Amino acid sequence: MRVFAICAACLLAFPAFAGGERAGRFDYYLLALSWSPGWCATEGRDRAARQCDPGSGAGFVLHGLWPQFEAGWPRDCRSSLRDPSRAETAAMADVMGSDGAAWHQWKKHGRCSGLSAAEYFTTARQAYASVAIPVAFQQLAQDVRLSAAAVEQAFLTANPRLSPEMVTVTCTGERIDDVRICLTKDLEPRPCGADVRRDCRKQDALMERVR
């Protein structure tokens, strides 16, 4: 009983963030851009996501803006700031594909930024706008197979301020999944941590056409 009482007292003494990382403590951002047609083919249509509707024209959408440590990333952050309203999440659908995606990203990553919901979404939108999507991927008219390295090179060519250590391309199964770009807290390009620089090695990854 004595041990239990001591443990209970210790738990009560901890501040509210003791169950996870402290919001606002991180080293840099990871901007993740998701290839929407691939996500729609595997998950999105079953969820009736609007970005998967015929004629949506969604290509690379904002997957998220993720606070990172030099090694690892914060998780399960607790914040005293209020969660976003329905109107705030709905307003992000034009770049994130849906209000549900915006809410999920806030809950999983945004709270760790230490920013208010409005500030986080504004920052995420600015980060997304800071990266030029290669013209070839803006209105991809047919399914293509290409190497993940070719996708990375297209982003490097379209964004001269980026260098290979600042960009990584991920795959899920046979498909291109994300293009991930590392940014400072001021949204300037910077090298990624070693744990982030794990490029997909696939030589014939699928990218479905934009619909």
Q: Using 70 as the pLDDT threshold, list the residues of the chain that sit under it.
A: 1-19, 44-48
Q: What is the pLDDT of residue 75?
A: 85
- pLDDT of amino acid 12: 35
Largest CA distance in the chain: 70
Q: Give the per-residue pLDDT at 122.
A: 98
Q: CB-side exposure of 140: number of CA atoms within 13 Å?
A: 22
Beta strand 28-35 with 175-183: parallel, antiparallel or unpaired?
antiparallel
Dihedral sign for Cα 76, 77, 82, 83, please: negative
- For 105, other C-beta atoms within 10 Å of its C-beta total 22
Which pLDDT score, from 0 to 100, does residue 8 have?
A: 40
Give the pLDDT confidence score for residue 19 in this predicted structure.
Answer: 41
pLDDT at residue 196, as a whole number: 94
What pLDDT does 9 receive?
40
pLDDT score recorded for residue 6: 37
